[in-house]
Structures are given as C-alpha cells and as structure tokens.
Structure 1
Amino acid sequence: MTKILISLLTLFSFSCLSAAEKPNILFIMVDDLGYRDLSAYGSADIETPHIDQLMKDGMRFTQFTANSCVCSPSRAAFLTGRNQDLVGVPGVVRTHDNNSWGYLDPKAITIANAFQQGNYRTSLIGKWHLGLKSPNRPNDRGFEIFHGFLGDMMDDYWEHTRHGNAYMYKNNDRIETKGTHATDLFTNWAIEEIKSAQQDQRPFFQFLSYNAPHDPIHPPEDYFQKFKKRYPNATDKRAKIAGLIEHLDYSIGRVLETLKKLKIKNNTLIVFTSDNGGKIKYGADNGELRADKTNMYEGGLRVCTSVTWPGKITAASVSDFKAMTMDFMPTLIDAAEIKYPGKMDGKSFLPELMSASQNEFKKRQQFYTWLQKYKKHALRIDQWKLVKNSAKDKYELFDMEKDPLEAKDLSKTFPEKFGEMRKIMNSYLKKADHVNWKRPSQQ
C-alpha cells in the first residue's frame, strides 16, 4: 500500500501559498446529533452557547446532508470525497466479521493524505470507526497522530470498551484510559495536539471526532442534574441526551478558547457537522423532519453544519446551499490551495462559503446509501428525491421543494420522473455491487 500511496501522491502539485499563509483546519464531527438539538437550530431546551457562537461567526447551513444515515459510510465519504460504496464502505464497520459491512479500499487517497502531501501536520482525535487492523488504521491512512477510539460505539463513556475490547489508542499503542468521560479525554487530547502543533512550522489539519451524543447516553451526572433543575418536568431520557450534548458544547468551547489563547483562531478554518441525524428513541429531536437515524428520510440525513473562517466567510450568514459530507474534501483542499488531480465524487462549495452566491449543483446525482445488510438507499436530483427505506419497502418519490417533510409519495403522479430516477439508482447499485467491501478475514 505504501508504494501505491507514494506513486499516487507524487501527482499532487503544491499551492503558491506559503505555510504561514495557509489556514489551519479544525474539522469537528459529532455523532448522531439531532437536527433540532442545538439552540442555533431551534432547540427550545438544550443550551449550546459555544457551538452557537461558532456558527454565528461563520456560515450555517440549513440543507446540508450526510452521505448515509449511519456512521461508517458517512465517515468514509468524508475521508475520501467519494461515494462510500465505491471505496468499500456500504455499511457499518464492526468488531465481528459476521456483523461488519465494510473495508475501506487501501488504494483510496484520504483527505489526510492530501493535507499531509500539502505540507500539513495531520491528526485524528477521537472516534475512527473505519477499521481495526492495518492497513485501515488512522496512521496508515494519512494521520501522523492518532489519539482516540479505534472502534465504533462505546459500551460505556467511562470504560471506553466495545464487546470487552479496549479500543483507546495513541497511534498504534493501546492505552489505559478508564475513569474519565470520553468527551473530556478527546477534548484534552485535541487541545494537547493543537498546542504541540505550534512547535511545528507546518499548519495543522485536525479531525476532531466525538462519540457524543451517540448511545449509550451517558452524560456526566452534574450536566444531567443541571438540565433536570432547569426543566423538572423533562423525562430522564431527554435530560440525559441534553446533558450529553451540553457537556459536548462546553468541551468544544474549551477547544475554541485554546485557539483564541494561542492567537491562531483568526487563521483557522473550522467545520462543525454530524455524521448523520439523531435517534429519537434515545431522546434526540430532529424537529419536523421525517424519521431519524437509520432512515433514508431527512431526519436520518439532514445534519447541523457550519463553516467558520474569520476574514474569509461572512459572519452570521445562513445558506440553503445543498451539499453533502463527501463535498468537504474538495472544499477544504480548495481552501488550502492543494491541487489534487485524483478521483472525487464530491464537489467544492468554497465559492458559496466565500461569496454566498454559488449556483446549485444542477442535475447532480446525490446518492444516500446503507446497502449492507439493510439495502436502504435514496437519490436526490434537484428537487426530486427517490427513497427506498428497506429491502421490503416500495420506492417513493418526493418533491422536496413542495413537500420538504416527505409526506406525499408522487411515484404514481409523475411516472416518467419516477422511472428515470429508478433507472439512475439501479445503475449506481449495479456499480456498487461490484466493489469488494469484505475485509480479508471475511473473504
């Protein structure tokens, strides 16, 4: 794999920007955040002042979607700028072979590879969820520094294990971390790495990947009690996820304060997003959007997203531009003026960030998938959205401009459009079906 990466990366050409002029990149991804679980997005009870301020300082998106309604596929799309199925991640990567549905293509060039070749210091802090063994560990995929959780969900936010496995690592070494809340650990490590990066002449690209607010819903007790005190009639379920999110907000505030104290905030581009929508049964609130995580309706796909870059992106701007997770890679390497001639399915929305006047991607085919084993998929082209929400469900067609809540199936009303969308979707599924997604132990 190393020889393949070296030969591919030599195709890169470098930016005319000097290292001092290039922005630092802080990419914050949270896990399973409900679309209405930030006060910036209309929450009536959860208070998230630090994330709200971050969004006020930049551009907040109202139509941003994840590539998938579950974790691993969306993360693969972010890391590669590709449709997740085409890089071998059609489902959730898990510990056991009988229940794992993806193997990130070792030949795929990641955003970390691109930034590393662009003379950036690269780090991943927090959740990985794209492989447990080489060549699919973070240090194999372009991250010089990895300090975090190798697995998928945690069985306990203080124990940091999954199926009895201790998955906390520093680079390739397992570390003992029991007793501290995972959100605090990731925050401490993120701050530590940002401070260490100041001794490096290169700018940094940090992927700060939190497990929160993914289940199990384990907030620190004081955050749970503070919410219950404000809202004594709230259910424990709502109070728990609220406490987990408010603790997450406080933690992100600590990272942002570090940038300010180090006087590098003005030269740091910061992204905030979620890997998919929230899960209602755990107390998440997706507002009026239909359904939730694991579903191909908007409640599973629409994600709270913002981009902040002082002096470059107009503060307090709100955009309804339609972009998705795989668009981050082309956008961020554009912002850093790193030239990458390789294959990407994503498209840059940097002009929208810089001027709020980018034209929509007309006739763009946006595929949303969770193919193994659940066979869920959707396709969005302009205002039209085709949905198949399980292997047994019939296809549905929605006009998202007239029916943003996906209430009325128009498959019989517009049979030609329905047939056209089905044909495009089937062609993609056939292509995806030829990609080997099994890890070696499953072959």
Structure 2
Amino acid sequence: MKVLSLLKYLLPAILILALGNHSLQAQNTPSRPNVLVILVDDLGYGDLSSYGAKDLKSPHIDQLLSRGMKFSNFYANCPVCSPTRAALLTGRYQDMVGVPGVIRTHPQNSWGYLAPSAVTLADVFQKAGYHTGMVGKWHLGLESPNIPNERGFEFFQGFLGDMMDDYYHHRRHDVNYMRFNQRVVDPQGHATDLFTDWTCDFLKQQAGAEKPFFLYLAYNAPHTPIQPPEDWLQKVKQREPDIEPKRAKLVALIEHLDAGIGQVIQTLDQTGLSENTVVVFSSDNGGHLEAGAYNGNLRDGKQSMYEGGLKVPTGVVWKGHIKPNTETDFMAMTMDLFPTVCEAAGVKVPAGLESQSILPTLEGKTQAPLRKHWFFRRREGGNRYGGKTIEAVISGDWKLLQNSPFAPLELYNLKADPLETRDLAEKNRKKFNELSTLLRAEIQRYGTVPWQKPLK
C-alpha cells in the first residue's frame, strides 16, 4: 500500500520530467534544412563585382556569396540553356537524360526530350517529404509529361518556354507560356520582378510550415532580349558616363536582377528561414558576348566550348555548416549540385548518377577530385551548323575541344595556358590521341539514349 501511495505522488513528477526531456531532445535535434537553388541565365563569369566587374555593381549577390563559399573553378555542364538545366535537375550528363541541345518551341528546331524515366531533384525531395516548388524559367518541355508539375514539383509559377521575346509581354513566338501550375496566366510586369515577387510569396507561406521545402528559382535574366527597366538603365548611364550603350543595357539588367535576388534573401532573413536553408547560386552557362557580357579574361562565351562559355560564377551558403567568406578553386560542375543538396538534407541519392557531392569541400574538408575526366557537349541546331555537335573533355591539366563541326580538334594545357591561346594538337599527339579516344567513347555512350519525342 505504501508503495502504491508513493507512486501516486511520484508518477506526475516522472511524467513531467519525461515530457520535459522529450521537449529538450526535440529542440536539440536539428530539423532538415530547406533548399533554395537559384539559377540565372547567361550570367558571364566576370559579370559580378565579386568576380571582377568594374562597371557593374552587384551588392546583393556579392553579399549572399560572402555568407558561404564562392567557387572560382565551377563549370556549367553545357554552354547553352536546356542541357545544363537537365543536368542540374537529374544529376546526370545531359545526353544521358535525352537533352543534348536546346529544347525549342518548334519540333523541327528542338534538340532534346527529357527522358520520362529520369528522376529529378524535385522527385527525390518530394519523396523525402519536402514541399517542392519552382518559380521561373523551365525550358525542359512544353507539354505533358515534361512540365514541372509532372516532374516532381508540387508548385510551379513561371515560364515553360526558352527565352521570352519581351520581358513585359512574356511571349515566345506569340504564344503565352506563363503558367500557375498548369493554368495559363497573363501577369503584368517585368519578368524578373514577377519571379522575385512570386518567390518571396512562396517563402512567406513556407515560413510557418511543418514540412521543409525545396525551391528551384530560375530567372530569365540576363538572357536576351536585353531589356532592363528604364530607370535602371538611366541609373547605370549616370554612374558610368563612358559606358557603351550595349554594355549599359546588360549591366542594368544584371543590376536589376541583383536587386531581385536581394529581395529574396531579405525575405529569407525576415522569415527566419535563412537560419536553416541551403542556398545555391549559379548560372546555366557563360555570358553572351554579342549581348555585351564580360567573362573575365576567359576566351569566348556562351555557345562556345572555350572556358568563357563553360565557367560560371557559383556559390553555396548554409549557415553554421559552410564557413563565411571562403573561396575555393576546387573543380565541380552543375550536375554535382544534385547529390550535394541531397546529402546536405539527408536525402537518399538515386543510384546511377555521374555526379558527385561537393559537401565535404563546402564543410572545409579535403576532398579528392570528383572525376578523372570531365565531358562537355552540345548538340547544335539551326542553319549555322545543321544539326551537328561541339564537345570537349578536360583531363587533369589538359583540354581537348572541337568548337565547330567544321574545325579540327584543339588541345590546350589549361595550367600553362588558361586563356587557351596555344593549340598543342600537333605538338603533343600522344595526349591528343588519348583524349580523342576518351571523347569518342563518351559520345558513343550518349548515342544509346534517344533525344526526340517518341512516336506514338
């Protein structure tokens, strides 16, 4: 009886202690991080203040990159849009998921069809219990099954197509590809402002949510047409009186984009989400020289297999995990972001990817090179090339490339000649033959994957 009586008084205290301990454990257990991937369009390697631009001010992107690790040796998978986006969202070489070239509005000039079997980042995060969303430029298909809501994104607000013919009217070949999920919408305003506002709205909605989120924000800017708001253009002209008109328009478009990204980061901060959100920033390819882009001292730009077409400004931020104000020359490429954000979130990485996580590097650990050989390829289209290809392989210090289907292969030593000025194809035939054999075998591997819409 005495024991029962004692338990009667002790039981409430035991329960209180147990509940308190459980609550403390819950507080001490880190929640899964949110993931925000920001991809901009055609941003040149040298077109940020933090990457050397002298006539351009990008305080918000620079400030974002200062919160984490900035990469000086990061490559896009391809020097044009769709293939790099496919690589980002699948963690695979773009040819292995059916997107060797640019997916366009008209079938006769479209050079890819995202494989229905390809598993996307959104698929993986959705399966792991994340709320998945996308805002901005899709560029991986215009119809079922290759639209965002059927490729793992529960929420989509953006543009299905490739480039917009006008940043204010949001059309491509007079067709409206703006969507809110699968509904056609016709919003008013500059596309950069729309994508920024929609992203901020999404983040505010997620601030109190129980589930973490994965959000892919893909801006059209600074892709052509180079169409900045007039007040931004006048601001640049007043500040840089000697700037060339073409360059002034691109600088204004980038600075307007920078302000939009600043609003997104400010929303992350104000909602408290930045405390536990992995933020990735990158570009889909190098800057477009004809539009006035600056790729630093790298050779060439967008659509080219030279370094200016492939190297892109990139950074990753994760408070408490990635040391601020760090920079690395560790080599990585777009598709490697897939397993990286998965590993950071504790999400199982699908088997069979060609990509590798760079999380150890981000956390300040020593990491072996991700791969021995790095392949780059673009299936060309249009009257200029008639459906042929350009490609490159980097192996150690050496790079072999073919930048036109009508030109011979070129060989460069990137360590001794980072600006690719001295073609060593004739002087080092042994290395030339070695790399051309590797490249040929990789192209043959790609040939096993169809890249056109299957016939019914």
Short-chain TM bin? over 0.9
Assess, with a 3 A threshold, how the Cα gap between structure 1 residues 346 and 18 changes in structure 2: closer, same or farther.
farther
Q: Aligned residue for 1:265?
A: 274
Supply the distance in 2 between the matched residues of 1:124 and 1:275 (Cα, whole angstroms): 16
Shift in Å at residue 18 of structure 1?
11
Shift in Å at residue 393 of structure 1?
1.1
Supply the distance in 2 between the matched residues of 1:350 and 1:292 (Cα, whole angstroms): 29
Among 390, 401, 423, which residue is 1:387 paired with?
A: 401
Shift in Å at residue 19 of structure 1?
9.4
1:244 aligns with 2:253: yes
Amino acid of the structure 2 residue aligned with 1:27: V
Shift in Å at residue 213 of structure 1?
0.1
Alpha carbons 2:116, 2:145 under 8 Å: kept: yes
Q: How many residues align?
A: 424
Amino acid of the structure 1 residue aligned with 2:233: F
Assess, with a 3 A threshold, how the Cα gap between structure 1 residues 19 and 237 changes in structure 2: closer, same or farther.
farther
Amino acid of the structure 1 residue aligned with 2:426: K
Alpha carbons 1:368, 1:378 under 8 Å: kept: yes
TM-score computed with the length of structure 2 as normaliser = 0.91
Supply the distance in 2 between the matched residues of 1:382 and 1:24 (Cα, whole angstroms): 35
Q: Aligned residue for 1:67?
A: 77
Alpha carbons 2:207, 2:272 under 8 Å: kept: no
Supply the distance in 2 between the matched residues of 1:166 and 1:19 (Cα, whole angstroms): 46
In structure 2, stretches of 5+ residues that fail to align are 1-26, 381-386
- Equivalent runs, 1:33-182 vs 2, <5 Å: 33-177=43-187, 179-182=188-191
Q: Aligned residue for 1:439?
A: 453
- Aligned with 2:179: secondary structure? strand
Q: Aligned residue for 2:230?
A: 221
Supply the distance in 1 between the matched residues of 2:28 and 2:326 (Cα, whole angstroms): 29
Alpha carbons 1:19, 1:203 under 8 Å: kept: no
- Aligned with 1:112: secondary structure? helix
Q: Aligned residue for 1:30?
A: 40
Supply the distance in 2 between the matched residues of 1:297 and 1:356 (Cα, whole angstroms): 30
Q: Aligned residue for 1:313?
A: 322
Alpha carbons 1:20, 1:203 under 8 Å: kept: no
1:399 aligns with 2:399: no
Supply the distance in 2 between the matched residues of 1:409 and 1:221 (Cα, whole angstroms): 44
Shift in Å at residue 431 of structure 1?
1.6
Q: Aligned residue for 2:6?
A: none
Alpha carbons 1:387, 1:397 under 8 Å: kept: yes
Q: Aligned residue for 1:421?
A: 435
Q: Aligned residue for 1:328?
A: 337
Supply the distance in 1 between the matched residues of 2:379 and 2:174 (Cα, whole angstroms): 28
Moved more, 352-361 or 56-65: 352-361
Supply the distance in 2 between the matched residues of 1:223 and 1:19 (Cα, whole angstroms): 46
Amino acid of the structure 1 residue aligned with 2:59: P
TM-score computed with the length of structure 1 as normaliser = 0.94
Supply the distance in 2 between the matched residues of 1:242 and 1:109 (Cα, whole angstroms): 37
Among 363, 366, 390, which residue is 1:376 paired with?
A: 390
- Aligned with 1:437: secondary structure? coil
Amino acid of the structure 1 residue aligned with 2:450: N
Q: Deviations over 1:277-299 (max 9, x none)?
A: 00111110011100010000010
Larger Rg, first or second structure (1 or 2): 2
Q: Aligned residue for 2:309?
A: 300
Shift in Å at residue 229 of structure 1?
0.2
- Aligned with 1:116: secondary structure? helix
Amino acid of the structure 2 residue aligned with 1:148: G
Shift in Å at residue 357 of structure 1?
2.4
In structure 1, stretches of 5+ residues that fail to align are 1-16
Alpha carbons 1:124, 1:147 under 8 Å: kept: yes
